[in-house]
Amino acid sequence: MTRVNDPSSNQDERLADFTERVLKGQAKEIDSNADQELRDLEETILRLNSTLPPASLDEAAAKQMLVRLKARVRKEGKSAKPSFWEKWFGVEWRSSLPRPQFGMAFAVIAMIVVLALLIPSLVTSGSPITATALTPSQNVTLVILLAGAILFIFWITRRK
Amino acid sequence: MENTFDTASDEVLIQHFKDGNEAAFDQLYYRHMPNVFKRVRYVIPENDVEDVTQEIFIAAMKSLPSFRGESQFGTWLRTLTNHKVAEFYRKRTRKQEPLLAPLSEASGKVDGSTSKAMEERVYLQKALHKLPENYQEIILLRFAEDLQFNEIAKLMGQNLEATKSLYRRAITALRNHLEE
């Protein structure tokens, strides 16, 4: 399992070691003994370290950022548009739904309820001859329209 | 109130926040803000660092009630940070906004850096962003968060040898992108 003699493993070690030295400020230029490939990688590390030096944030700056963060949260809270449900029913339904899947489940249940209410009117009672009227096809259209409306409302309320 | 939370674990703080104690969130913020900031500053242009950092914490605030503790909070926040950084670049691409501010805006110095240094910074950040996620991650953990290779190995659930190998491949990929 050991890869001691594996040249790539050796390169991994040397590059990691070089990185440690660069980040500790102990190496500021390419290791002259390295082979060309490793020298190229070392150059990339030096470039990364000089262009994107490690950042630090003092406590005062962090506090100021928290103050601005809270101000933004308050501002966004005040300017947030009420949702469809809140606007029309005075209830924030969606905030009480912890996951989007619950919203989808709600729409599916609503559809099942509508279908359950309407299906009995589609089934003709008595002789099949009496089922030749136009009423069933109108009901099917109604069901499709209602289902479409529910899905449309659901889609509208999910849009930002 | 904050002092009483100083020694509390992240899990305890999250529970307090869920119970409506905002001071618990402040403590979480002070605890994790430095790492989030370092990571964001590494990959986002200077002018947008604070804005993106704020968005991360606002998203954290909104999502914490549904946080179920399946991973550590720090790991969860790191994922959220990556998500927000990706969203930043997606929005920029959609709006076709340049990542670098016009030279008139950048002609002065930001953090002591000249416009040429800023260009190099943005160039490197773009190259970093093009890397596969695991390559980006290991570079960020080592350079931005200053974790040691053994700490990275533990975090990634790999052995040290595999971590160093991944690191070399990541630097090689970055080098190739920079040469393109």
User: Across residues B112-136, what is the average pLDDT?
Assistant: 86
**Around Cβ A59, how many Cβ atoms within 10 Å?**
9
ipTM exceeding the 0.85 mark = no
How far, in Å, CA of B176 to CA of B56, rounded?
31
Query: Of the candidates A36, A48, A47, A38, which has an alpha carbon nearest to the alpha carbon of residue A18?
Result: A38
- Inter-chain residue contact A73 with B164, CB threshold 8 Å: no
Query: Angle at CA B129, nearest 5°, toward B84 and B38?
Result: 60
> Residue A76: closest CA among chain B residues belongs to which residue?
B58
A74 inside 8 A of chain B by CB: no
Instruction: Tell me the average pLDDT of chain A.
Output: 74
Burial of A4 (C-beta count, 10 Å sphere; 0-12/13-18/19+): exposed
What structural domains and CATH numbers belong to chain B?
A: 1-99 (1.10.1740.10)
- Look at residues A15, A73, A10, A80 and name the one whose alpha carbon lies nearest to residue A43: A15
Q: How many A/B residue pairs have CB atoms within 8 Å?
A: 96
Does the pTM of the predicted model rise above 0.95? Answer: no
pLDDT at A116 over 50: yes
A105-129: average pLDDT: 67
Percent of chain A whose predicted confidence (pLDDT) is above 90? 17
